[in-house]
Amino acid sequence: MIDSHAHIDTTPFAADRAEVLQRAWDAGITSIIIPDIQPEHRDNLISITSSDPRLYRGIGVHPHHVANLPEQELNEIDKGALADRVVAIGEIGLDYHYDFAPAETQKEWFRAQLQLAKKHHLPAIIHNREADNDILDILHDEQDGTLQGVLHCFSSDTEVLRKALDLGMLVSFTGNITFKRSTLANVVRYVPTDRFMIETDAPYITPEPYRGKRNEPAYVARVAGKIAEIKGLSMDQIIDFSTTTAKKFFALCALIVVCTITAVAQPTPPRDEDYPFDRDWEIALDNYYADSVAWEKWIKPRRLGVGLSIGTLTVVELQQFLQRYNYRSTSVPTDPSRWTYYQRGEGPERSFSFESLSAIGGTVTYGLSTNVVLEASGFYSQNTKPAKDFGLDPITTIMAEFTALYSLNPYSKINFLPQAGLCYASIDDGTLTRTKFGVNTGLGIGINIPTKIGLFYPVFNIRFNFLLGTDENRVVTRYIDPIVGGIYQNSTNPNIKSEDLADVNSIYSLPRLTILYYLPF
């Protein structure tokens, strides 16, 4: 079991904290999460969590303590979030039952700390007392697909629960569900088995039959037992469900951390016919919608996009020679012995690449579905290197690409985009303009940046264009007479010139950065 929320750093445990922890371990608890409440007590919290590897902590400021908090505290939380054993931002939130801090101040600090949670890829432990609407409104505003949170000591109704789940939140239950006058049975019954955790909130909210005494982590099994009773499941099942969820949520093992950060493929809507009971299908549907919370902000706006691109074009060629001119020979430059000829397919080969060249262009995209985006791009590049090194005119390349990109994780802020498509190239070497078709493939990474004026989407693509067919009898080197500034001609056949000719197959590597803007309609 994991007690996902216990204040064992507080004064009520000062005299017997070691004994309390031993009772917790003896009761089968494997980890305890201790929230941070106020800066003045943080050093004590750090000392306690450093004393046992089974203890973890949050960092943040409870709404009771934000009234006169200096802005510098945000910097302290920002830095402290990187510390060892910190697994969450919290306890943070809103409390309108007491008047310890003005509501507007509470909301400002709640929002600011949620933003730190997203920055550090940490979940938020959220306190909510008599503030349902404002809590949900702020979570809706801040939910960009990266925000994880738990509404701890959940005490609201099923409608609030449904909205919280739709926003991707979890809930946590404590001893109040065991009270004789508890009204939370329907809430417990409704919540999916992979969307809740258990907690004590010790030393507060002691479960039956210990109510009236100081609460402690060993009593968390009473919460699990009540959930099992309400749901009609075994206590072992509830412990397994809540423990698995807590491990994932707080990333208590390295493997889970990796899986959480990399974000795999998109969720698939559940089919009614795959579930024998309607309730199971409803739970699966709730999970699907929770995983798809970013649809409104990211997927829906990604319909029609326009953008500018800048990249580098590297041309890789496989050249098989048909004619070579021996410029090292000591005979006169027009002597026929300087030329060597080869049958097609039998000449020597060489792999050759031009240095990376600047390329500029534009891009238009259309979102065909949640995962699939169609892209049309055009690029212009001019290579002056051949004129300097090989006696050739500058080579101008105009490239058009028609590509389909598939987002592996469209509901995440950062999207991974394998891609494939067709390409067209017009290549002008100063003597001849050639047109070729080909295919392309590559991989991209895009970042969703929603703004008030629309969605910006920087995307970095590494793409390879394979031009089909062989470019025959191409001049790959031209040897110039330094005196007359022209090429040499064969003395017996003036049509043969001091040039190397080859059949050429080409690959165009074109990594680029594109800044897309999706029109807001």
Domain termination site, one of 246, 262, 278? 262
356-384 as b/e, with b when 16 or more CB fall inside 10 Å?
Answer: ebebebebebebeebbebebebebebebe
Same-domain pairing of 317 and 255: no
We report the CATH number of the domain holding residue 139 as 3.20.20.140
pLDDT digits (tens, 9 = 90+) for 57-80: 999 999 999 999 998 999 999 999
Split at pLDDT 50, 70, 90, the class of 395 is: confident
Same domain assignment for residues 192 and 307:
no
The answer to whether residue 342 sits within a structural domain is: yes
Residue 92 lies in a domain: yes
| pLDDT averaged over every residue in the chain | 88
pLDDT digits (tens, 9 = 90+) for 222-235: 999 999 999 999 99
CA-to-CA distance for 20 and 444, rounded, in angstroms?
52
- Kindly report the number of other CB atoms within 10 A of residue 196's CB atom: 24
Tokens of 87: 């697994």
Number of folded domains in the chain?
2
Buried b (16+ CB within 10 A) or exposed e, 32-42: bbbbbbbbeeb
C-alpha dihedral, 303 to 304 to 309 to 315, nearest 10°:
80
Q: Taking residues 388-392, report their average pLDDT.
A: 66
**Predicted pLDDT of residue 454:** 83
In a shared domain, residues 188 and 325 = no
Choice among 93-107, 248-262, 368-382 with the minimum mean pLDDT: 248-262
CA neighbours within 13 Å on the CB side: how many for 33? 32
User: Are residues 309 and 197 part of one domain?
Assistant: no
Block residue for tokens 């902590």: 57
Q: How confident is the model at residue 216 (pLDDT cuts 50, 70, 90)?
A: very high
pLDDT digit string (tens) for 405-440?
999 887 778 899 999 999 999 988 777 888 999 999
pLDDT in tens, 166-190: 999 999 999 999 999 999 999 999 9
Summarize pLDDT for 14-53 with one digit per residue, the tens: 999 999 999 999 999 999 999 999 999 999 999 999 999 8
The pLDDT assigned to 258 comes to 36
pLDDT, residue 439, reads 96
Encoded amino acid at 372, one letter: V
- Give pLDDT tens digits for 95-151: 999 889 999 999 999 999 999 999 998 999 999 999 999 999 999 999 988 899 999
Q: What is the pLDDT of residues 455-510, one digit of tens each?
A: 899 999 999 999 998 988 888 888 887 765 678 888 888 888 898 999 999 899 98
Q: Which domain holds residue 190?
A: 2-262
How far is Cα 130 from Cα 324, in angstroms, rounded to an integer? 86
pLDDT at 275: 65
Nearest-5° Cα angle at 259, 50 to 413: 105
Helices (H) and strands (E) in the chain, counts: 12, 21
Q: Which amino acid, residue 65? A: H
Q: Which CATH number goes with the domain that contains 315?
A: 2.40.160.20
Last residue of a domain, one of 218, 247, 262: 262
Instruction: Give me the pLDDT at residue 262, please.
Output: 37
Residues 202, 333: one domain?
no
**Confidence at residue 389, expressed as pLDDT on a 0 to 100 scale:** 63
Residue 199, burial from CB neighbour count under 10 angstroms (0-12, 13-18, 19+): buried
Q: Are residues 254 and 208 in the same domain?
A: yes
